[in-house]
Chains A and B, each alone.
Chain A
Amino acid sequence: MTKEETKQAVLDIIADVAPDEDITDVKPDVRLRDQLELDSMDFLDIVMELRKRHNIEVPEAEYPELASLDSCAEYLTPKFEALGK
């Protein structure tokens, strides 16, 4: 999985978790919270959808790694690769 694919996987999840947000123009280097209305319940949802769809575990202490699309890509891509994706 490339980093771009990882970002897309995260965006796909956000589209389902927060369908009332416009995600067509999300800037990868800006914190998701600063450009979308996502609260802690939504972030929990993103983490749980990662587990449900991709079998990826994100421990609570590492939630900050999901702050922006870029940081998601850095953090999650090796996890996808470890699962052979």
Chain B
Amino acid sequence: MNTNSHYDVVIIGAGMSGLAAGIRLAHFGKKVCIFERHNAAGGLNSFYSQQGRKFDVGLHALTNFVRPGVKGTPLTKLLRQLRISRDEFQLCEQKRSRVCFGPTGDVSLGFTNDFEVFESEVASAFPAQIDGFRRLVAKVREYDDVSLDAKPVSAREVVREFISDALLEDMIFCPVMYYGSAREQDMEFGQFVIMFKALFLEGFARPFDGVRVILRVLTAKYRAAGGERRMKCGVRKIISHGDRATAVELDDGQTITADHVLSSIGGPETERLMGEIPEMPKSPVGKLSFVETITILNRQPAALGWGDDTIVFFNDSERFNYAAAADQVDPRSGVICFPNNFAYEDGRTLAEGVFRCTCLANYAAWKGLPESDYLAAKAQWFSEIQTSARRFLPAVESAELAGATLATDMFTPRTVEKFTGHLGGAIYGSPLKHRQGRTTLPNVYLCGTDQGFLGIIGAMLSGISMANYHILRGS
């Protein structure tokens, strides 16, 4: 039992960013403790068990995958910074993924972890756009996306300087937004660059046992470095005296003093903990939340006739509408993920088939529902989401799918808010990012989602960068 009442650094949240920051700080001799309200580590990328099955939440795929020997990318940087050998993450590459648009998926752009595949798909589907596309890629490659003080510009505007076909524009934005944008319809160009690199120039991978492999590596590293962790022990208040934070108050009322507080729980969420501070600007709560359906199958998706795509990003409408759903769910677009379809070592296959499908949702439309209506809405939308997504996959008879289904589960914006603490169920946090991680109090910093590096590799890099920048560099 950790019973200290003072730490050099208190970290709020045992997600990817908090754990990564903790490893750095503990490694360099800081007395550090992570406080986590939930009983499991991982935050937005965690897992749970139900009837003996382990389900991943969040992670469809680890983005930013590069093969051994490729240096200078986020994955290699974080492995170095955390003193983790890449074998420990046991990453296996995707087979292939697609962006699929049109009412029945007539236009499709395939991609793999070899960027040439995507480029040639763009060239063949959009021959008039390929030169612009190549120039856009060149701009993305040279852009300094980890700069902590870049000026914000609209990604849509920048991309339109290179791409004049709205369909191609939307097909590029769909995966990039679904995997990380906290803003409706547009994103900041730096964020776009991070995601474009993460998805297309780098790639997708997954450990055979899912996100818990990565969490296990991080928690073991953190413990070995001397870091402390208190689970089921949330922080309910950041106490300040004068213009500095001096302590945190835990859910059980205990007070822990600290020299620095590093919060991974989000901008608006952290501001709430700081209470009323005169002239403190308020970060907006994000509007984008999601539902996800999970279907467990008694065979591999390929055996059911669904092929071996890893991820399929789909949209049936003329324009891709990345915004909070008008109804409880917007099933017109979404993301299908088959965790089975990674190239696991020695041809290993997951014991059961998994079919996951994510769509945009509306937090307010779910939040106030009485329990019985909530369950009914879940059942109704489960079916609508599955029906919508299946239009973009090879046809499988409904009776056959029903016969192959062993179990289902679904999360909603309510589930997200309950387990991650993100206000509004906003998975990607507030649209206002704080690149330098600064808050109104000079010794309280943000890392993770609302600092603005995206994806789980981005989250870890965020924790590392903020620990380095604010705490280790100057000490």
Interface residues of A (CB under 8 A from B): 16-20, 37, 39, 41-42, 44-45, 48, 51-52, 60
| B76, CB-defined interface residue at 8 Å | yes
| B48, CB-defined interface residue at 8 Å | no
Closest partner residue, chain B, to A47 (CB atom): B473
B79 partner residues in chain A, CB cutoff 8 A: 20
A51 to B76, CA, bound (A): 24
A57 to B468, CA, bound (A): 16
By the criterion CB–CB under 8 Å, are A44 and B473 in contact?
A: yes
By the criterion CB–CB under 8 Å, are A19 and B77 in contact?
A: no
Contact mask for chain B residues 72-87; partner A; CB cutoff 8 A; 1 contact, 0 none: 1000110111010100
| B29, CB-defined interface residue at 8 Å | yes
Q: With A39-B77, A41-B77 in contact, do A48 and B83 touch (Cβ < 8 Å)?
A: no
By the criterion CB–CB under 8 Å, are B28 and A42 in contact?
A: no
Q: With A52-B28, A52-B29 in contact, do A41 and B468 touch (Cβ < 8 Å)?
A: yes
A28 to B68, CA, bound (A): 27
A37 to B79, CA, bound (A): 14
Closest partner residue, chain A, to B77 (CB atom): A41
| B348, CB-defined interface residue at 8 Å | no
A25 to B76, CA, bound (A): 22
A37 to B29, CA, bound (A): 26
Chain B: minimal CB distance from A57 (Å):
10
Q: With A16-B83, A41-B81 in contact, do A48 and B72 touch (Cβ < 8 Å)?
A: no
Tally chain B residues at the interface, Cβ within 8 Å: 18
Closest partner residue, chain B, to A16 (CB atom): B83
Contact mask for chain B residues 459-475; partner A; CB cutoff 8 A; 1 contact, 0 none: 00000100010001100
Closest partner residue, chain B, to A51 (CB atom): B28
By the criterion CB–CB under 8 Å, are A20 and B76 in contact?
A: yes
A16 to B28, CA, bound (A): 14
By the criterion CB–CB under 8 Å, are B85 and A19 in contact?
A: yes
Q: With A17-B80, A45-B81 in contact, do A39 and B468 touch (Cβ < 8 Å)?
A: no
Chain B: minimal CB distance from A44 (Å):
6
Chain A: minimal CB distance from B458 (Å):
15
The 8 closest A-B pairs by CB, nearest first: A37-B71, A48-B28, A18-B80, A52-B28, A37-B72, A44-B468, A41-B77, A48-B472
A16 partner residues in chain B, CB cutoff 8 A: 83
B473 partner residues in chain A, CB cutoff 8 A: 44, 60
A19 to B28, CA, bound (A): 18
By the criterion CB–CB under 8 Å, are B80 and A20 in contact?
A: yes
By the criterion CB–CB under 8 Å, are B80 and A42 in contact?
A: yes
B464 partner residues in chain A, CB cutoff 8 A: 41
B85 partner residues in chain A, CB cutoff 8 A: 19
Interface residues of B (CB under 8 A from A): 27-29, 68-69, 71-72, 76-77, 79-81, 83, 85, 464, 468, 472-473
Closest partner residue, chain A, to B472 (CB atom): A48
Closest partner residue, chain A, to B76 (CB atom): A20
Chain B: minimal CB distance from A33 (Å):
12
Closest partner residue, chain B, to A37 (CB atom): B71
Closest partner residue, chain A, to B469 (CB atom): A44
A17 to B68, CA, bound (A): 16
Closest partner residue, chain A, to B68 (CB atom): A20
Closest partner residue, chain A, to B71 (CB atom): A37
A52 partner residues in chain B, CB cutoff 8 A: 27-29
| From A18, A42, A48, A52, residue with most partner B Cβ within 10 Å | A48
By the criterion CB–CB under 8 Å, are B28 and A39 in contact?
A: no
A41 to B79, CA, bound (A): 12
Chain B: minimal CB distance from A81 (Å):
24
A60 to B474, CA, bound (A): 9
B83 partner residues in chain A, CB cutoff 8 A: 16
A52 to B27, CA, bound (A): 9
Chain A: minimal CB distance from B275 (Å):
34
Chain B: minimal CB distance from A60 (Å):
8
Query: Which of A20, A45, A60 is in CB contact (< 8 Å) with B71?
Result: A20
A39 to B85, CA, bound (A): 18
25 contacts between A and B (CB under 8 A): A16-B83, A17-B80, A19-B80, A20-B68, A20-B69, A20-B71, A20-B79, A20-B80, A37-B71, A39-B72, A39-B77, A41-B77, A41-B80, A41-B81, A41-B464, A42-B80, A44-B468, A44-B472, A44-B473, A45-B80, A45-B81, A48-B28, A48-B472, A52-B28, A52-B29
B27 partner residues in chain A, CB cutoff 8 A: 52
A42 to B77, CA, bound (A): 8
A60 partner residues in chain B, CB cutoff 8 A: 473
Chain A: minimal CB distance from B276 (Å):
36
- Supply 18 further A-B pairs (C-beta < 8 A) apart from A20-B68, A41-B468, A45-B81: A17-B80, A19-B85, A20-B71, A20-B79, A20-B80, A37-B72, A39-B72, A39-B77, A41-B77, A41-B80, A41-B81, A41-B464, A44-B468, A44-B473, A45-B80, A48-B28, A51-B28, A52-B29
Chain B: minimal CB distance from A38 (Å):
9
A37 to B27, CA, bound (A): 23
A42 to B76, CA, bound (A): 11
A51 to B69, CA, bound (A): 29
A39 to B72, CA, bound (A): 8
